[in-house]
Chains A and B, each alone.
Chain A
């Protein structure tokens, strides 16, 4: 058990699916050999396939204290990298349009904005995902090399690249499939919560670059931190698939879409834009209570009152959204 725990809250109502977080992460961490298919941060459309596709149904995690089996996702699930035949088209006189090869069949953000149907209406929302830096990481337990460890000072889960032998038990064990194998180095890699930035008092790159200002970062055990307030005080943020048993430390404010046009004044639970069952699938049955609380806060402000929870969710400035304390690490060391 770590002494402190960094956590992130993402307000899904503010995510516009622009992938700026994805690019911020990619440019900083996975612009190397063997990392092309790695998205330590990805944003997927929900409902949808996800990345790797169908990761939420593959397996892994805990059940009754035992690790659950899972196959490794294959490159078909991630999508093979493709190239365009510019040479042939531009220099060799090929008449046909520029074409990709191999034929793209899957990829990150493959089914963007497809979503699902609710009665005869289309709906979707975006789900940004990073490593959950779980309190009970299945990846850590699965690694026979003890290459994965949870930092005692801040709860960040990292893979020691010197100890890793590329066995990939961790990838199988992670129910969120947020660990990637680098075939060039023969080792596995994952989101490291930007700990080199955190140690300097800088917030994660994905959060710093987010134009929607939907990410909140801080210590879960720090009463002053926004994540503590959103998760433990206002209780309006939930982890993804908590039944997988790993106790994730990334939390989501569920999509709190406005009521449909003809239902003005009604609760969104009466005629929801996003089916409640789908939200329960992702965030568990507590999501209904969260929506009830969010509706109550909304009502408060509509009646001229002030909602601390909603003010916090607006998160106008970085001081409100982030509580990253470099001195914590120094004290602990």
Chain B
């Protein structure tokens, strides 16, 4: 069964990502991302509101829905066909803003867990619900830098081409992850600066990444909580090349 799923997923990704990502051939023209050089500070871009970002050119990046990974998966429709991407260099950082329309705001504020150990407290924090999933987004890029390098597999990299994933979750916040292939993603325990707003059915999420050099490939993913997205059940883009 596993083999069959892998074949389906692999062939789908090959189809969707075009072969250059696997072979290291030059990407098509549409897959370049222009990066603005901003005079604003990284902090200003991260927390200064939309004014600065509105001046930066936007690119609509098409999103694909992963095919069903498991026999028991519920079918899912393509509700988020694209994500708007803006990128800027500022203060030695690369800032990426992802914006997408999502009519359902799947985020909560988790109850604060007191600092005292639970056994010393009469009241414990309760699990309010066991069946909700939250909106999330991520930026993935190769862990090994260097221009001309072969882009890693879109499925969370591979053994020779590990990836870093900057993951933001509407409820649980920002976390840095690493992976070397499907099913190997692990949290590093590190966080990163991120900022998010949800207004009029649209998410705007800003990621502060390390200063990735021109020619680096990046890919994006969006999870829609109301579609029970988590894990590989998500929207993903093909690799884009930073200019």
> Does B associate with A?
yes
Q: Could you tell me which A residues sit within 8 Å of B by CB distance?
A: 31-38, 65-70, 72-75, 78, 81, 142, 144-146, 163, 165-169, 171-173, 180-184, 186
Rounded to whole angstroms, the CA-CA distance of A93 and B45 in the bound complex is: 55
A81 to B185, CA, bound (A): 34
In the assembled complex, the CB of B66 is this many whole angstroms from the nearest CB of chain A, namely 12
Write out the residue numbers on chain B whose beta carbons fall within 8 Å of the beta carbon of A81. Answer: 126
Chain B, interface SS category: loop
Q: List 25 A-B contacts (CB under 8 A).
A: A31-B119, A32-B124, A33-B124, A34-B126, A37-B126, A37-B127, A37-B130, A38-B127, A65-B1, A66-B1, A67-B71, A73-B130, A74-B129, A142-B70, A144-B69, A144-B183, A145-B183, A165-B231, A167-B231, A168-B130, A169-B72, A181-B127, A184-B111, A184-B125, A186-B172
The reply on B113 being an interface residue by CB < 8 A is: yes
Complex contact B124–A35 (CB within 8 A):
yes
Q: Which residues of B contact A (CB under 8 A)?
A: 1, 69-72, 74, 110-111, 113, 118-119, 124-131, 172, 183, 185-186, 230-232
Given contacts A35-B127, A165-B185, 8 further A-B contacts (CB under 8 A): A31-B124, A34-B127, A68-B72, A72-B130, A73-B131, A75-B130, A163-B186, A166-B230
Q: Which 7 A-B pairs have the closest CB atoms?
A: A33-B125, A69-B72, A181-B130, A183-B127, A72-B131, A32-B118, A34-B127
A33:B113 contact, CB within 8 angstroms = yes
Do B130 and A144 touch (CB < 8 A)? Answer: no
Compute how far the CA of A35 lies from the CA of B119 in the bound complex, rounded to whole angstroms. Answer: 12
The CA-CA distance from A182 to B140 in the complex, in Å, is 28
With a CB–CB cut-off of 8 A, which chain A residues contact B126?
Answer: 34, 36-37, 81
CA–CA, A172 and B70, complex, Å: 12
* B71 and A66 form a contact (CB under 8 A): yes
Residues of B contacting A35 with CB < 8 Å?
Answer: 124, 127
Q: Is the CB of B130 within 8 A of A74?
A: yes
CA distance A166 to B130 in the complex (A): 10
Evaluate contact between A146 and B118: CB separation under 8 angstroms.
Answer: no
A-side contacts of B127, CB under 8 Å: 34-38, 75, 180-184
A35-B124, A67-B70 known; A184 vs B110 contact (CB < 8 Å): yes
| A291 to B111 CA separation, bound complex (whole angstroms) | 51
Q: Which A residues lie within 8 Å of B231 (CB)?
A: 144-145, 165, 167, 169
Which residues in B have their C-beta under 8 angstroms from that of A167? 230-231
Q: With A33-B125, A173-B72 known to touch, is A180 a contact of B119 (CB < 8 Å)?
A: no
CB neighbours of A72 from chain B (8 A):
130-131
Q: A33 near B128 (CB under 8 angstroms)?
A: no
Q: Which residue of A lies closest to B172 (CB)?
A: A186
Instruction: Report the Cα distance A36→B118, complex, angstroms.
Output: 11
Inter-chain CA distance A80–B125, complex, in Å, is 13
**Which residues of A are found within 8 Å of B183, using beta-carbon distances?**
144-146
- Asked whether, in the complex, the Cβ of B172 is within 8 Å of the Cβ of A183, the reply is no
Closest residue on chain A to residue B186 by CB atoms: A163
Please measure, in the bound complex, the distance between the C-alpha atom of A69 and the C-alpha atom of B71, giving whole angstroms.
Answer: 8
- The answer on a CB contact under 8 Å between A180 and B124 is no
Cα A163 to Cα B74 in complex, Å, equals 24
Distance in Å: Cβ of B27 to nearest Cβ of chain A: 29
Q: A31-B119, A184-B113 are in contact. Are A70 and B125 (CB under 8 A)?
A: no
> Would A183 and B129 count as touching, CB distance under 8 A?
yes
Chain A residues, CB < 8 A from B125: 33-34, 184
Instruction: Please give, as numbers and ranges, the residues of chain A lying within 8 Å of B118 by CB-CB distance.
Output: 31-33
- Assess the B119–A183 pair: CB atoms within 8 A: no
Supposing A35-B124, A145-B183 touch, asked if A180 and B130 sit within 8 A by C-beta, the answer is: yes
Task: Point out the residues of chain B lying under 8 angstroms from A186, CB to CB.
Answer: 172
* CB-CB nearest in chain A for B124: A33
Q: CA A74 – CA B1 in complex, angstroms? A: 29
| Residue of B1, B113, B127, B128 with most partner-chain A CB within 10 A | B127
Question: How many angstroms from the CA of A172 to the CA of B119 in the assembled complex?
Answer: 30
Q: How far is the CA of A305 from the CA of B195 in the complex (A)?
A: 78
Please name all residues of chain A whose beta carbon is closer than 8 Å to the beta carbon of B74 when the two chains form the complex: 69
Contact B72 A172 (CB under 8 A): yes
- Inter-chain contact A75/B124, CB cutoff 8 Å: no
Q: Chain B residue with minimal CB distance to A166?
A: B230
Q: Which residues of B contact A37 (CB under 8 A)?
A: 126-127, 130
State how many angstroms separate the Cβ of B65 from the closest Cβ of chain A. 17
Tell me, in angstroms, the Cα distance from A125 to B216 when the chains sit together.
Answer: 65
Taking CB atoms, residues of chain A closer than 8 Å to B186 are 163
CB distance from A296 to the nearest CB of B (A): 43
Using Cβ atoms and an 8 Å threshold, which residues of chain A touch B232? 144
Which one of A144, A183, A184 has the greatest number of beta carbons of chain B within 10 Å?
Answer: A183
Task: Give complex CA distance A144, B231 in Å.
Answer: 8
How many angstroms from the CA of A81 to the CA of B125 in the assembled complex?
11
Are B128 and A183 in touch, CB under 8 angstroms? yes
Most buried by B among A37, A38, A144, A168: A144
Taken together as a complex, chains A and B put the C-alpha atoms of A78 and B172 apart, in Å, by: 24
Least CB distance from B2 to A in Å reads 9
A69 to chain B, nearest CB (A): 4
Query: Could you tell me the distance between the alpha carbons of A72 and B130 in the complex, rounded to whole angstroms?
Result: 8
Contact B172 A36 (CB under 8 A): no
What's the nearest-Cβ distance from chain B to residue A186, in Å?
6
Q: Are A183 and B110 touching (Cβ within 8 A)?
A: yes
With contact pairs A66-B71, A73-B130, A75-B131 given, residues A36 and B124 touching in the complex (Cβ less than 8 Å): yes
